[in-house]
């Protein structure tokens, strides 16, 4: 994934708990544990060539 062309979009799909672990790894336990991440959630990141940058968390089920 890290070796894609600039501007390319990549979709990675996984279970909510796995995505939650990824978010906590990127943001740290203090910030990452504040998000309730479940199945069907969409988490947006950007990658600047060195690190992932958290952009958004979308829960299409919760209104």
Residue-wise pLDDT for 17-61, tens only, equals 899 999 999 999 888 888 888 888 999 999 888 899 999 999 888
Q: Give the pLDDT of residue 2.
A: 60
Residues 37 and 16: their CA atoms lie apart, in Å, by 6
Q: Show me where the domains of the chain are located.
A: 16-58
Record the pTM.
0.75
pLDDT band at 1; cut points 50, 70, 90:
low
Instruction: Give the residue from 60, 10, 52 showing the smallest Cα distance to 32.
Output: 52
Rounded mean pLDDT, 6-27:
88
Instruction: Decide: residue 23, CB within 10 A, 0-12 exposed, 13-18 middle, 19+ buried.
Output: buried
């Amino acid at each position: 994934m890290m070796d894609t062309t600039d501007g390319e979009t990549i979709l990675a799909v996984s279970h909510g708990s796995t995505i939650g672990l990824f978010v906590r790894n990127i943001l740290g336990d203090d910030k990452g544990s504040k998000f309730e991440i479940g199945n069907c959630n969409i988490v947006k990141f950007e990658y600047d060539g060195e690190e992932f940058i958290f952009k958004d968390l979308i829960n299409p089920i919760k209104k």
